[in-house]
Structure 1
Amino acid sequence: MLQETGQDAAAPAREAAGHAAPGPRVALLSNPTASGNRALLPQIRTFCAAQRDVFHYEVERLDQVGIALSRIALVKPRVLVINGGDGTVQAALTEIYNGRHFGDDPPPVAVLPNGKTNLIAMDLGADGDPLETLERVLLIARSDLDRHIVERELIALSHGTGKGRAVLGMFLGGAGLADIMLYCRHHIYPLGLPNGISHFLTFFAALISILFGFKTGLLPRKPNPVEVSVFRRGKLKGRFAVLVVTTLERLLLHSHFPERHGKAGALQLLAVERRPMAVFRVIFGALFRRLGKDRFGGVHLERGDEIRIESEQSQVILDGETFEARRGFPIILRPTAPVPFLRLAV
């Protein structure tokens, strides 16, 4: 079922007929099936129903996101807010870019901190209560947007030849990190614990596995070797505890990638070899904000405009969706043109 609340749903039709009406400043795309929305959505609906500045559209399946965005485009919002899990964010970004529902002038995108990891929301300064974040976005949309708009490239992921419709996102985890994320998804999240405790238990289990090399179904498995090629920068081969490709500014533990200079590539790569000392070095570097400033053995930071990941069998996760890199069918990552986002902190 598709559901609209907030701004009068007939307004786009009246405007098309020549009876112009002020459009909503904010369009909110919600996925009620996202785990974070089960308790929150009634409050979101009540808030939106009381705000003529908000056009609220709900989808129950990700394949409805394209229809939702085409409908949202009719009301020409100043800001598009995504309220759902990682899969909802990824589906919306893919449709915004590939579907071109807003033509050459898409509204800036804001993301409510309502998923399991909230990496994109945190990078944009949205960290806290989702309803308070929505209220803050609405206040910004009623004022001068320009100082809050930032541009980010997206990661376009394709398989094998790199042809066909790419899937878009902003954070990719591969090698050991993908195995750890899947371990958390399948073994820790079902326990029903708060996200913070779930992530701590997952981190502890991964650290034990790396330090002692235990082979048990109770711990994340040992990652397969992978080969990572950064265009014009060379190759990395081996087993990696962490493999990250992102266009976000933030790294582990709120540290940041080095600033981009000149013609440096838009895709940022962090690869940490699966050795205890390399893992301890990256943790130390992240805690003390030294990543990208100091060199650490076994820790690789690169930038590029094309990254290929190939393996006999290794999974990667792009904003919650899983893909597999295989020999002869590599994962190919390229940046898109910049897309506007709304940053809450200036």
Structure 2
Amino acid sequence: MPDGPLPRPERPERTLTTPEALQAAGLIPAAALPGAMAVAERYSISVTPAVAALIDPADPADPIGRQYLPDPAELATAPHELADPTADAPHSPVPGVVHRYPDRALLKPLLACPVYCRFCFRREAVGPEGGVLGEAALEAALGWFARTPAVREAILTGGDPLMLSPRRLGMILARLAALPHIEILRIHSRVPVAAPERVTATLAAALAVETPLYLCVHANHAREFTPDAMAALGRLHAAGVVLLGQSVLLRGVNDSPEALEALFRAMLRARVKPYYLHQLDPAPGTARFAVPVEEGRAILRALRGRVTGLAWPVYVQERPGGGGKVPLGPDYAANEA
């Protein structure tokens, strides 16, 4: 499997948001259209031009296409799958805020993304109709942060915060940075790899705040680090943003030592420090992506000694009921090589 981007003769000019558009672009065959349309009735579809250019339509097991193209298997819910696997709702003191840990909290200023991953744990909630928090709701959310001094880290997620306009994003960051108890700002985003053209100089400037700001880039395969993505990440790095990488261990995408090694090396070349490797959250219809924990540990164990410690993420799993993340290992004896 090649690590670099695959060339395609044509690149769509616009984001593809319907099964019909995917078929017209040659990304799904006509025979797959009825199943894709059934999926679209429940879950959002969005494939940006940058992502479409990476998908090899001749390969039904293409690891990029597997992440983004709808599949009828999404409509089958396994017994262990949960509508809210991370339990956001019980830990939401006001709309748009999730507070699971004493010293940090999530702010979800919108529920729209540039692309919709077929394994997303918020797939029941996100979509283009999710929109942004209204002015009153955003003020209430920012007010909650202002009157909760135990929270030292504000984490912008969603949806994808980099889908906001630079003006609105800059305003939110400035409001949070002005709170004396907020010591760290963090943003989680797919934009630098899925829609790198959005990372303009204006957007990078909006992230240039005095409070330390970390951007967690969500990428699952080495091919996502295209020249355009590398340039976008370079603009963020030049603006002083610290870049971290988060990935999900996914069957058919990165479930081998070779695929993870290529991914982590691609991140480091882009000045992105691998931070988290997530065990798949059991959202409805995601069973085809699941890799057992013991297999995940074995894959990581096979990487020990093959890659620098800089490439080593923390392998984590969300505890049920919103109990937060726990590390999964692998464990080593002191005398192991």
Q: Using structure 2 for the length normalisation, give the TM-score.
A: 0.28
Pick the structure with greater CA Rg: 1
Q: Using structure 1 for the length normalisation, give the TM-score.
A: 0.27
Task: From the two aligned structures, give the one with the greater strand fraction.
Answer: 1
